[in-house]
A and B are shown apart, each in its own frame.
Chain A
Amino acid sequence: MKLRKYVIGLAVLAVTAAGCSSKSATDDGGTDSGGVKTGPGVTADKITLGALTDLTGVYATLGKSITQAQQLYFEQLNQAGGVCGRDVELLVRDHGYDVQKAVGAYTELQPKVVGLPQVIGSPIMAAIAENVAKDKVLTIPAAWPSQLLKVPYVQIVGGTYELEMINGVDFLVREKGLKKGDKIGHVYFEGEYGESALAGAKFAAEKAGLTVVEQRIKPTDNDMTSQVSALKSEGVKAILMSAGPRQSASLAGVAAAGGLNVPIVSNNPGYSPQLLGTPAAKALEANFYYISATQPPSSDAPAMAKLVGDYTKKYPKDVFDGGATFGYVSAKVFGESLKKACDSKDLTREGVYKALQTQSAFDSEGLMPVLDFSKPGQVGTRESIIQRPDSKAKGGLVEATEPFTSDAAKEFDLG
């Protein structure tokens, strides 16, 4: 009998208490005193954005650079008066490249933010992609596979892995004297990153009459000795690299020691300036090239000098790298979209997404090529800049070519 009373009591409690649960009040936003439509993530004095980053996992260096550069941008934006009379705040969550933690963090952040200027990790992006589309959260991933171009509300800033490799092969043919019938090696990570890059490499190789010798590796493989000897016995004339900085250093060092003296061309996640402090520095300076859509820190664009100065002033202990440039530009893409959304008096998620698409020539003041966000499903730019390590230069990188788009990259179908 007591049990039944207990259950009934509990049920009554639940019914009455649920009435005053904060969840029952649904908040669909509204319109503020200035006539600006607002939604989730926007209050009277604050606009909140979110970042799902990796500060403790495999991409910790990249995550730290991007996050710090984004915090720098929003700080400067707020000092200049913010957007729509509101401060912009970045909520950062570290997932350590763990999908479960990232999904938990997304679920927590989603109701609080207008958009996500940073999501690191292609498995993580894949895990939240459906919810991003459902919740209409504008997201900028720190991953560049072409598949992401098709996902609604996801905006790639820069080129894609495919385009980088296509431009890289073109560079090898034009500048490094590769000819029809030559073999090129491609060392790539299993998973979306490596496979996207491989698709680009194969496309460009076919156009140029080259053959690709594939070497698939795992992110945990750090010693490239067996890959180098396999490529050497195949007689490759150049090596493409779609892996992490550690693998690049190992490959360059082992190849130089083993007498395989060929150019190595890597995708943008495959290099970090810290490598110049390792014993592989000499080999890297001799043979290594790195493709990216961001300008190297030694670029003479005035915005770059200012960014490097501000960044090193705020974070004196950290090395300025390509991740920081990307982080700054992607934060700026968000900042400009928010400003445009404010002008058209619609700060809802939908409004910010529309504002992004009004920008057909986004100007990052020379930090990146001009980006076109007006065509959903298309890439913002097909240009790449080939760079090479140089320990004497600022940021350890110098330009090897001007920004360019190869003919093959122009005709590559991104699907």
Chain B
Amino acid sequence: MVKITHSIRQLSLVVAGFVAVSLLLESDGLAHWADRLEPGPMRTVAVPATQAIERTLAPLGVGAVRDGVLKNLARVGWSDDEALLAEVAKEDKGHSLPANPACATTSAAAGGVAGANSASVVGAGPVGAGVGAAGAVGARSAPSGAGNVFAHAPGSNASLANNVPKTLALTPLPPVDLGKPRVVALAGDSMMAVGLSATLMRQAAGDKNLHIVKAFKSGTGLARPEVYNWMDEYPAMLGAEKPDVVIVAIGANDGQGFVVDHKVLAYGTDAWRQVYQDRLASFLAMVSADGARVVWVALPPMRVPVYDEKITAINQIAYTVVSQSPQATWWNPVSLVGDEEGRFREFETEANGQAMRVRSTDGIHLSDEGAGKLTAVLMKWLDPPPPPASQPGPAANTVAALPQSTDQPIVGRKRHPRKTAKGQAVKRGGRPVGKGQPETG
């Protein structure tokens, strides 16, 4: 008779075996895990402890075996780690990798804005080349006007969205060449992954003038490259694609401290702001390389006041950087999804009396309907409707129809329904346009 119940002594031995072998196999991963923790007491203890374990066990070479296995998994098409795939591709020059349709797709459900740290968990391979990939502390002084971004009163419920321009203006794009679709990359964290990317992709599906490249990842940000290094991951996500336009929505996870050169930079300090601004500038320089036009989507006002303040500060830093780039445009949708004073609102009633939820129930992300309002405007810019037969001329094929001045939302304009591949008329959100139903987007 085989015994199936055991004592706590047996349990102790099993756990001891588990812990010992786990340390042996996962010492690299544990050190990476500790490195990704938010600055605080736990990190203070975990980093030296895990690094000591890693150093002690390094001579055994388990890490090298593990890396080899991961690379081989990438070679057979198992891995979805874009940076690893790119590394393997570089190593295997002459060998073509299996196509990875998962590249850059992301879990909308995984969009834990507060969870950049908690989402870096089992299953997360080593990413990033460590702190400093996007610039060192003090490498660049803050541009004038960027100071005092954290100076407003804590706890205030008033969104400071007014401190950055509320513009929706976009300089017209050159007309799309026949037979060569405009390549549009969608980049960012869950602010892109949840709502906005899906509505944009649904609208663009079947549009021969647009080719969408997915380059977004929930639970990421620019503040902590040791958690997710956009400088490595973005090129890997693009692969061979050369975007003409990059739409960026990022920063919702960045209201947290980080460590630079073994020094903790608390969120909101001048040193923190300087490093974050440098990282943001490096990211912008990367995405606008090769002449890509960048639309930087400002983060919308948030429901929780403390979080809204952080987002306001992030927006101000982002605007400071974006406004200095000739290729980038600051695009603030607050007039589309915020209230008249630029504050958070959950529901909205359109001019035609149609009520809609513009934000998801978490008070952070856009709802599909809210994102649809942004998409309607962006799609007009990316792929303007053909000019009416009575108004020939190249200008009509650009976004000249859009207001060039600011602060005025472009919603409510008439737009010709586009056609899907099957010739079905669609309106924003991908819904079929019913007979006699007015277009509101």
Instruction: Tell me if chain B binds chain A.
Output: no
Chain A residues with a Cβ under 8 A of chain B: none
Chain B residues with a Cβ under 8 A of chain A: none
